[in-house]
Amino acid sequence: MSARELLAKIGRSVVSVIPTRRLVLIVAASAPVWLISVTAGVVVTVMLAVAIIVDMLLLPARWQVVTERIVRSNVGLGDAERGEYRVRSTARRALRFTLFDALPHVLESPETRGAIHAVAANEETVIPFTFVARERGSWALGPVVVRVQGALGLVQHSLRYEPGDMIVVTPSLAGVRNLRLLAIQHRLRDAGIRSIRKRGEGSSFASLREYSVGDDPRHVDWKATARRQKIMTREYTVEQGQTVMIAVDAGRMMTQLASGVPRFEYALSAATLLASVAVQAGDQVGLLLFDNELRAFVPPARGGKAMRGIRQALIPARATMTEPDYATAFRTLATRHRKRSLIVLFTDVIDPRSSQAVIAHTVRSALRHLLVVVALRNDELVSAAIPTSHSTSSDLYGSAAAEELLGARNEAIVRMRRAGVSVLDVSPKQLASSVVNHYLELKARGSV
């Protein structure tokens, strides 16, 4: 290496080099030497300068350290996700480094930044991390900085990487993934999903599972029972592809919190799960999202096309403080989708007056469609309506007010049911399994 190349390398290194704590302590410890002897101070300073230069020259070049960040491109809101950083080194010696990132504020990660890691010569090390997404949308993940220490530990070199990766936060996918896993393991009942079989013709064999009390003895597979030494029964699916339209109210009642999360998010997660189940059953699935105006409309489709369209429509969805316009929603269905379908409406009713619009339009739509209204229950309101032994006078007034609201809500639900509307009154925590079970029951009866 020529003198010019050596100076150029030193100049480039100085710009991005940061002193370590070890160097600061050495400088502080050597300062008293100047008080004892100027000559000794000069000697110590020169020796320290030479050590710093050597340490800088031993720092790895940028091309010798490659850093990758690996995460799912699509994650669910509130789902615990895992990612990892992979640091590969082609340097001739082991490296010690600290990794920093600039994840967007919507991703919460419990891992502490600044821990020291090591990678052997010509090897790769993997640094796992976990995170939770707190807001839907598309987000850039930001740069990654690897701060590599010199061989002597006096200086460190910051290497900045711009992966340019993005992450898309959709409604929670945990239910969909869990359902698929349990379906593979034949354990859908663990998720509260009942396996419904339709009697008569039109069913096809789906899988085998262990016999449970209440199963039809005619479906016992005796060959499989003899082979596995335990009673096995056959499961069937109904070969009947219909159309399911999912309508989600994004009005003010859906902004209320349930366990710290807007009920709107529970509705989106349940809608995503229902769409996944219906697609797997061979149905066409579409989506309607509305508040005081139409926010999104996804025409019914099958398979992956339906799921992609629904997820893309739900990513930017937000609940607003406006009153829902049911007339616009059902008018859109009447003009854009005339085929008889199962319409699942996620909303809430709080009193008879606000439910009049729902009743008026659902009764009219029931002449053409099969309609299910999913009313999200307010668990906090139910709890507030129950007085305790420690309740004060103000608590009792609050309980009375809550009980009055619940009474009005129950009256609205009764009126809708009397008008022929199928209503599911369900807690947000049991929303997904309740909706899927009701869909499977309708499917088994041949209603869908």
pLDDT tens, residue by residue, 162-193: 888 899 888 876 655 555 444 433 444 544 44
Residue 8: band (very low, low, confident or very high) from pLDDT cuts 50, 70, 90: low
Most confident of 237-251, 313-327, 416-430: 313-327
Pick the CATH number of 62-170 from 2.20.28.160, 2.60.40.10, 1.10.3720.10, 1.10.600.10: 2.60.40.10
pLDDT of 225 over the 80 cut: yes
Q: Give residue-wise pLDDT tens across range 382-392.
A: 777 777 766 67
DSSP letter at 185 equals T
Give pLDDT tens digits for 335-360.
Answer: 887 788 889 999 987 666 666 777 77
The pLDDT of residue 10: 53
CB contact at 8 A, 422 and 371:
yes
- The average pLDDT across 219-248 equals 80
Q: What is the pLDDT of residue 389?
A: 64
Does the model's pTM come out above 0.75?
no
Per mean pLDDT, which of 111-125, 129-143, 326-340 is the most reliable? 129-143
Distance in angstroms (rounded) separating the CA atoms of residues 435 and 320? 24
Residues 82-97: what's their mean pLDDT? 91
**Which DSSP state fits 73?**
S
Question: Of all residues in the chain, what percent carry a pLDDT higher than 90?
Answer: 18
Tokens for 89?
Answer: 């080194």
For residue 196, the model assigns a pLDDT of 45
Domain ranges across the chain: 62-170, 208-236, 243-445
Tokens representing 23 are: 């160097």
Cα separation, 137 vs 83, whole angstroms: 18
- Name the phi and psi angles at 60, rounded to 5: -70, 150
pLDDT band at 79 (very low <50, low <70, confident <90, very high): confident
Mean pLDDT, the chain, integer:
80
Tell which wins on pLDDT, 232 or 197. 232
Is residue 13 scored above 60 in pLDDT? no
Tokens of 192: 């509260």
Residue 199 has pLDDT above 60, yes or no: no
Confidence band of 125 (pLDDT split at 50, 70, 90): very high
Instruction: Give the lowest-confidence range in 133-142, 190-199, 300-309.
Output: 190-199
Mean pLDDT, range 212-234, rounded to an integer:
81
pLDDT for 187:
43
Q: Phi and psi of 243, rounded to 5°?
A: -120, 135
Query: Region 219-243: what's the mean pLDDT?
Result: 77
Radius of gyration of the chain (CA): 32
In sequence order, the 6+-apart residues with CB closer than 8 A to the CB of 184 are none
Q: Is residue 320 pLDDT above 70, yes or no?
A: yes
Q: How far apart are CA 105 and CA 94, in angstroms?
A: 34
Task: State residue 182's pLDDT score.
Answer: 41
Relative orientation angle of helices 326-336 and 352-365, to the nearest 10 degrees: 10
**Least confident piece of the model among 259-268, 275-284, 397-406:** 397-406
**Cα 129 from Cα 289, distance rounded (Å):** 35
What pLDDT band is residue 198 in, cutting at 50, 70 and 90? very low
Amino acid 229: pLDDT: 85
Contact 254, 262 (CB under 8 A): yes
Q: Pairing relation of β-strands 137-140 and 166-170?
A: antiparallel
CA distance 386 to 335: 46
Q: Which of 246, 244, 248, 245 is nearest to 317 (CA)?
A: 248
Residue 124's φ and ψ, nearest 5 degrees, are: -130, 140
423 pairs with which residues across the strands? 373
The pLDDT of residue 241 is 63
Q: What's the whole-number mean pLDDT along residues 407-418?
A: 81
At 267 the pLDDT is: 92
CATH number of 243-445: 3.40.50.410
